[in-house]
Amino acid sequence: MELYDARMGERKRAILKAIIEAHIQYGEPVGSKYLADHANITCSPATIRNEMAELEALGYLEQPHTSSGRVPSEQGYRFYVDSLIQDYKITTLEAQQISSMLHAKLSEIDKILEQATKVASSMTNYTALAVKAASASMTVTRFETIYLDEYTFLLVMLTSQGSPKTKTVKVPLPVTPEELVGLCRAMNHHLAGIPAERMVLPVMMAVAEAAGVNETVVNAAMRAVYEVLSEAEGGSLKLGGVDHLLRYPEYNDVEKLKQMLSMFERKDDLIAAMKSDGDRMNDDVRVIIGSENSVDVMSNSALVLKNVRVGGQVVGTIGIIGPCRMDYSKVIALVDRLSDGINEMLGGNLLGDGKHNR
C-alpha cells in the first residue's frame, strides 16, 4: 500500500528518490550539485537545497556532521519502499540462475532452502537466509523400513510437510527382515498422522504388540521418530554469503559486526525476527527496515522476506539481509521470483499475486 504524505509534492518525491538511489549506489552523502548535474531534476541547485532542507525537517533525510550532503533516514527509506520504488526487471542471466536452481533434483525442503540461499546471495551480493518453519503439528504420514543387517535398519518417514526423512536405527537385539515388515505395518497403523505429544507409552506398547518384536526395537525406532519431529518443531536457519557483509561500510564497526555474526551463530534471535513479522498467512514480500526489526543489533540493517508454501501450508521463509541502503527494487523482485518458483517446484498453492506489502 502506498504511503501518503500530503506534504510530499512531486518535486520533493523526485529529489528524495534521486538521493536514495544515489546513496544506495555509492554509499556517500548526496549534495545538491550532484542532483543538479546527474539526477535529471529541472530546477536550480538553490531550489534543490531548499527542498533538501525541507525533506530533512520532515524527517526523510539526515545530514552527517562532516558533510554538506544528505543521506536517507529510516523514515525516508520506508517512504521510498512504499511509494517511490520502481519495479525491477529481472535479467536473462538472473532468470537462468533461478531456473537452474529450481530444476535441481532436490526433494527435501531443507536442501531446497539451502540452495536458495546460495542463489539469492550470489545474485544480490547480500547475505541470504532461509528459515524452515517450526511445525509442532507436523506428523509422519507414512513409514518404510529397509533392512541393512540384523542390528541395523533404515527408517524412512514421509512427513506431513511432504519431505522424506531417513534415520539409521541401531538395535541392541537382532531383528529379521520379516520382523521389520511387521514393525513397519504396526507403525503405519498406530503412529501415522499422530503428533509427537500423543505418542505416549500405551501407544508404544500397542506398536510393540502389533509388530511382534522386542520393545527395545520399538524404543530405538521411536527415538528416530522423535528426532525428526523435534527437528521440525524447532525450525532451522540456513545462511548464504555471510562474508558479503564485509563489502559494506555499515558493518565496518568491529563490535557491531561481531554482534551480527554472534546473532547468526545463535540463530534464535534471527529466526524469531523472521517469524514475528506480520501475518504468517501473508504471501506478499515483506520489507523490515532498521528499528522495525525486533532485534537491536539489526537496527542498521534491512530484511526482505517472503513465505514458501507446500499445499497451502507455510513451510519456510526466504529472504535477504543487508544495510538499510539496500537495492530494494532488485532484492524484492528476486526474492519474489525465487519464492514463487519454489512454491511451484514443491507443488504449493500460489496465493500471492506478485505484489508486495511493506
> What is the maximum alpha-carbon separation in the chain?
89
Coil, strand or helix: which one is 62? strand
Dist CA 242 CA 264 (whole Å)? 9
Residue 290 region by backbone torsions, left for phi larger than 0, else alpha for psi between -120 and 50, else beta:
left
Residue 5: inside a domain: no
Task: For residue range 195-210, list pLDDT tens digits in order.
Answer: 876 887 788 888 989 9
290 and 249 both lie in a single domain? yes
Q: Which residues pair with 318 in a beta bridge?
A: 130, 306
C-alpha distances in Å from residue 7, one per residue of 35, 58, 300, 305 = 21, 9, 27, 30
213 and 160 both lie in a single domain? yes
76 and 113 both lie in a single domain? no
Task: Please tell me the least confidently modeled range out of 151-155, 175-179, 272-276.
Answer: 272-276
Pick the more confident residue, 330 or 278: 330
Whether 310 contacts 158, CB under 8 Å: no
120 and 242 both lie in a single domain? yes
147 and 286 both lie in a single domain? no
Pick the more confident residue, 172 or 282: 172
Residue 285 region by backbone torsions, left for phi larger than 0, else alpha for psi between -120 and 50, else beta:
beta
For residue 188, give the CATH number of its domain. 3.30.390
> In which band, very low, low, confident or very high, does the pLDDT at 153 lie, cut at 50, 70 and 90?
very high
Task: For residue range 11-56, list pLDDT tens digits in order.
Answer: 999 999 999 999 999 999 999 989 988 888 888 889 999 999 999 9
159 and 211 both lie in a single domain? yes
The pLDDT, as a whole number, for residue 348 is 40
Residue 3: inside a domain: no
Say how many domains are in the chain: 3
Neighbours of 75 (CB within 10 A): 17
**Cell 542471466, residue located:** 93
| Mean pLDDT, residues 174-188 taken together | 94
The pLDDT, as a whole number, for residue 350 is 34
Share of residues in the chain with pLDDT > 90 (%): 47
The pLDDT, as a whole number, for residue 273 is 67
> In which band, very low, low, confident or very high, does the pLDDT at 272 lie, cut at 50, 70 and 90?
low
Pick the more confident residue, 347 or 201: 201
Task: For residue range 46-100, list pLDDT tens digits in order.
Answer: 999 999 999 999 999 999 876 678 999 999 999 999 999 999 999 999 999 998 8
Phi, psi for 139 (deg, rounded to 5): -130, 170
pTM, two decimal places: 0.70
Residue 279 has pLDDT above 70, yes or no: no
Whether 314 contacts 109, CB under 8 Å: no
Domain boundary among 200, 219, 234: 234
227 and 300 both lie in a single domain? no
The pLDDT, as a whole number, for residue 292 is 87
120 and 253 both lie in a single domain? yes
Coil, strand or helix: which one is 71? strand
Phi, psi for 301 (deg, rounded to 5): -125, 165
Dist CA 126 CA 240 (whole Å)? 9
Domain boundary among 190, 210, 234: 234
Coil, strand or helix: which one is 318? strand
The pLDDT, as a whole number, for residue 313 is 67
Task: Please tell me the least confidently modeled range out of 36-40, 125-129, 149-153, 234-238.
Answer: 234-238
Dist CA 164 CA 167 (whole Å)? 10
Residue 109 has pLDDT above 80, yes or no: no
Residue 351: inside a domain: no
The pLDDT, as a whole number, for residue 19 is 96
**314: closest CA among 287, 288, 349?**
349
Residue 130: inside a domain: yes
The pLDDT, as a whole number, for residue 294 is 74
Pick the more confident residue, 319 or 313: 319
Dist CA 307 CA 317 (whole Å)? 4
The pLDDT, as a whole number, for residue 21 is 95
Range of the domain at 163: 140-234
Cell of 150: 540384523
Residue 356: inside a domain: no
Residue 357 has pLDDT above 50, yes or no: no
Strand segments, DSSP code E, in 160-300 are: 164-170, 236-240, 286-289
Name the residue type at position 45.
P
Computed over every residue of the chain, the mean pLDDT equals 85
Dist CA 80 CA 15 (whole Å)? 11
334 and 283 both lie in a single domain? yes
240 and 325 both lie in a single domain? yes
Residues 6+ apart with CB under 8 A from 300: 250, 256, 290, 323, 324
